[in-house]
Chains A and B, each alone.
Chain A
Amino acid sequence: MRGFGVVLAKECRDNLRDRRTILASFSLALLGPALFTALMSFVLTSTLGESRAGFRLAVVGAEHAPRLVDHLRRYNVEVAPVSLDDPRQAVRDGVEDLVLVIDADYPRQLETGGVASVTLIHDSAQMGSARRDFARARQMIGQYGQKIGVLRLQLRGVDPAILTPIRIGEVDTASPAARAVTILGMLPYLLVLVVFMGGFYLAIDATAGEREHGSLEPLLSQPVSRSALVLGKIGAASVFSMVSTVLFLVSLSVSVPFVPLHRVGMSLSIDPLTCLAMFGVSLPLVALGAALLTAVASFAKSYKEAQTYLTVVILVPTLPLIVTQMLDQAPSTALMLVPSLSQATLVTSLIKGEAVSWLHVAVSAGATGLLAALVAWVAIALYRRERILI
């Protein structure tokens, strides 16, 4: 194995001098957790605030329906009586998000027991709070209408129950905490991507890049075994991948405390010990990623060609994650045989503070490590062929 360390050190030093490689290799690891935290905070605060916060409702002709306005105000709606010539245009132009128009005929219809009409003008192409506010306004006005209907029936001596032959009970178990857990499911994804991105550019530079610049031929005419050369390159990609993973975990443990999880009664502990465990669990995946990227990039004759191949390769480890997320599998020993999926499952358990079985860890490391060795062997075989230089 003479030469292994020499190649590894040279590839690391060489790539550390390339600002673009550094930026591309480590930016996801550093910024990923920050984005993740921001997203999670946003989801948590918006779901928490949903039921309490009021919203603005512009009302044209509020003077025709003072009781309705009172009803809306009781539900914390900020009713703003306005006079608009063309309320539709106002919504279209974005002057108002939501306008309630009350017909001048409204009081007379109510008094005579007729059908009073109001119009809610909104823009369904708008996303976010406008859409939610529309649904709530409609529900509140509907409620008010129902109340009047009940009173009318009672006045006429009819049991209002005859109008509701079926009552639909709804129970939504999705608490804000449950939503947080769903987002938490993205973390293992991010980790797998970070592991692969770390070695991505170094693997290209050390293989296709070396070929493109004509330095591979002199390198291969040195008295060093091909296995030492290739393993040195895979080793260097592993080092970058490990650095990327460490940066990710540090960045994660710094940013997660900013998520207001306590407000939904959850706690997420990413303490140094958990970080260390996550790092240990990821190591076999680091080796597999470095070997796979190096092997595939070795087929390419130029940097650009390799970049195209590896962009596809980097999607591969995310596939099992997508599939299982859809199937909702519980951790099992069989699942541990699948690289990337096993690491993602173990990392999820660690984050949730669940107990992790040593058997699962061993099977995961064994299966992924074995595959990494196999892929490394393929890469070495590629460099034993004369074709690599033609």
Chain B
Amino acid sequence: MIRAESLSKTFGTVQAVRDVGLTAPDGRITALLGPNGAGKSTTLRILATVLRPDRGAAWVDGHSVADDPDSVRRAIGVLPHGAGLYARLTARENVAYFGALHGLKGAALRQRVDALIDQLDMGGFADRRVGGFSQGQRIRVALARALVHDPRNVILDEPTNGLDVMATRALRDIILELRAQGRCVVFSSHVMQEVATLCDDVVIVGQGVVGFAGTLDELRRRTGESDLEEAFIRVVGTEAP
């Protein structure tokens, strides 16, 4: 369960996030939808304890992001923008490194990593160095790394970026699986269709503020548009940020 209230964050003179609040319950997939530069990544980075908000507050399973970051870090798994893997380590070693940082060791760590390799269908490349991996393989490794401590909450920053159709479909299945396990899943995207096929709730962000929050049906009802893309554009406005 992730909750945020009126977050704001400024970098120098650029106000990336003005006023963003959201509630993402367990067992549901919540999409953070918005055009490029809307403040999606910044919001997710605040939730992941990477950035501190200038104003506002956020909680993960009741732990405050600002006051108790270590408890938050134990409760969430994050797939950051661009994966960020170690090219000279194998897929297995990349996952095991973060598992060890979470305090897993010995047989418990090995079993957990094996289970993830199995679950994410990484057997074919688990013991190869990450350096030459395709984007789809990299995302899987990064996802396994994010899940190594079995977090209740999962944050995915534009996970489908650069993936082909097959890899996107495989990732979609994984995300649905995470929901079925009762986890709280939050992901960001700028692709409406992707959101439509996957999410339960949607939070639309434009220029640092929330334009809409609710289910897809509510979005259609609110905007009076049956086409979701039209509804999206109605909410964020047509002008570029």
Do A and B truly interact? yes
Task: Tell me the smallest distance from the CB of A138 to a CB of chain B, in Å.
Answer: 64
Please give, as numbers and ranges, the residues of chain B lying within 8 Å of A13 by CB-CB distance: 89, 93
Is residue B124 contacting chain A, with contact meaning CB distance below 8 A?
A: no
B83 touches A214 (CB 8 A): yes
Q: A218-B78, A221-B49, A221-B50 are in contact. Are A10 and B83 (CB under 8 A)?
A: no
Question: Residue on B with the closest CB to A21?
Answer: B88
Please give, as numbers and ranges, the residues of chain A lying within 8 Å of B45 by CB-CB distance: 217
Query: B67-106 interface mask toward A, CB cutoff 8 Å, 1 = contact, 0 = none?
Result: 0001101100010111111111100010001101111000
A213 touches B87 (CB 8 A): yes
B52 touches A221 (CB 8 A): no
Please give, as numbers and ranges, the residues of chain A lying within 8 Å of B82 by CB-CB distance: 214
Q: A18-B88, A215-B86, A218-B145 are in contact. Are A6 and B100 (CB under 8 A)?
A: yes
Question: Residue on B with the closest CB to A389?
Answer: B50
Please give, as numbers and ranges, the residues of chain A lying within 8 Å of B93 by CB-CB distance: 13
Task: Tell me the smallest distance from the CB of B164 to a CB of chain A, in Å.
Answer: 21
B50 touches A220 (CB 8 A): yes
- Contact count band on B: 20 to 34
Is residue B205 contacting chain A, with contact meaning CB distance below 8 A?
A: no
Within 191-238 of A, Cβ neighbours of B (below 8 Å) are at 213-224
A2 touches B103 (CB 8 A): yes
A217 touches B84 (CB 8 A): yes
With the chains together, A267 CA to B73 CA distance in Å?
Answer: 62
Query: A292-308 interface mask toward B, CB cutoff 8 Å, 1 = contact, 0 = none?
Result: 00000000000000000
Question: Residue on B with the closest CB to A5?
Answer: B100
Please give, as numbers and ranges, the residues of chain A lying within 8 Å of B89 by CB-CB distance: 10, 13-14, 17
- Contact count band on A: 20 to 34
Is residue A386 contacting chain B, with contact meaning CB distance below 8 A?
A: yes
Is residue B233 contacting chain A, with contact meaning CB distance below 8 A?
A: no
Please give, as numbers and ranges, the residues of chain B lying within 8 Å of A224 by CB-CB distance: 101
Task: Tell me the smallest distance from the CB of A156 to a CB of chain B, in Å.
Answer: 90
Please give, as numbers and ranges, the residues of chain B lying within 8 Å of A17 by CB-CB distance: 88-89, 129
A223 touches B80 (CB 8 A): no
Please give, as numbers and ranges, the residues of chain A lying within 8 Å of B71 by CB-CB distance: 223
Which single member of A2, A3, A214, A386 contacts B84 (CB below 8 Å)? A214
Please give, as numbers and ranges, the residues of chain A lying within 8 Å of B78 by CB-CB distance: 218, 221
With the chains together, A217 CA to B71 CA distance in Å?
Answer: 17
A217 touches B103 (CB 8 A): no
Is residue A390 contacting chain B, with contact meaning CB distance below 8 A?
A: yes
With the chains together, A217 CA to B25 CA distance in Å?
Answer: 25
Task: Tell me the smallest distance from the CB of B212 to a CB of chain A, in Å.
Answer: 28
Q: A13-B89, A389-B51 are in contact. Are A222 and B102 (CB under 8 A)?
A: yes
Q: A6-B101, A218-B78, A389-B51 are in contact. Are A223 and B85 (CB under 8 A)?
A: no
Please give, as numbers and ranges, the residues of chain B lying within 8 Å of A217 by CB-CB distance: 45, 50, 80, 84
With the chains together, A301 CA to B226 CA distance in Å?
Answer: 47
Query: B34-62 interface mask toward A, CB cutoff 8 Å, 1 = contact, 0 = none?
Result: 00000000000100111110000000000
Q: A213-B87, A221-B50 are in contact. Are A390 and B11 (CB under 8 A)?
A: yes
B80 touches A222 (CB 8 A): no
Task: Tell me the smallest distance from the CB of B123 to a CB of chain A, in Å.
Answer: 22
With the chains together, A222 CA to B93 CA distance in Å?
Answer: 16
Please give, as numbers and ranges, the residues of chain B lying within 8 Å of A215 by CB-CB distance: 84-86
With the chains together, A218 CA to B155 CA distance in Å?
Answer: 12
Task: Tell me the smallest distance from the CB of B100 to a CB of chain A, in Å.
Answer: 4
Please give, as numbers and ranges, the residues of chain B lying within 8 Å of A14 by CB-CB distance: 86, 88-89
B98 touches A222 (CB 8 A): yes
A218 touches B84 (CB 8 A): yes
Within 105-145 of A, Cβ neighbours of B (below 8 Å) are at none
Task: Tell me the smallest distance from the CB of B156 to a CB of chain A, in Å.
Answer: 12
With the chains together, A18 CA to B100 CA distance in Å?
Answer: 22
Q: Of residues B81, B84, B89, which shows the largest number of chain A Cβ atoms within 10 Å of its Cβ?
A: B84
Within 11-34 of B, Cβ neighbours of A (below 8 Å) are at 11
B51 touches A386 (CB 8 A): yes
B97 touches A6 (CB 8 A): yes
Within 118-138 of B, Cβ neighbours of A (below 8 Å) are at 129
Query: A1-22 interface mask toward B, CB cutoff 8 Å, 1 = contact, 0 = none?
Result: 0110011001001100110000
Sampled A-B contacts (11; CB under 8 Å): A10-B89, A14-B86, A14-B89, A17-B88, A214-B82, A215-B85, A218-B78, A221-B50, A221-B73, A222-B102, A223-B102
B binding-site residues for A, Cβ under 8 Å: 11, 45, 48-52, 70-71, 73-74, 78, 80-89, 93, 97-98, 100-103, 129, 142, 145-146
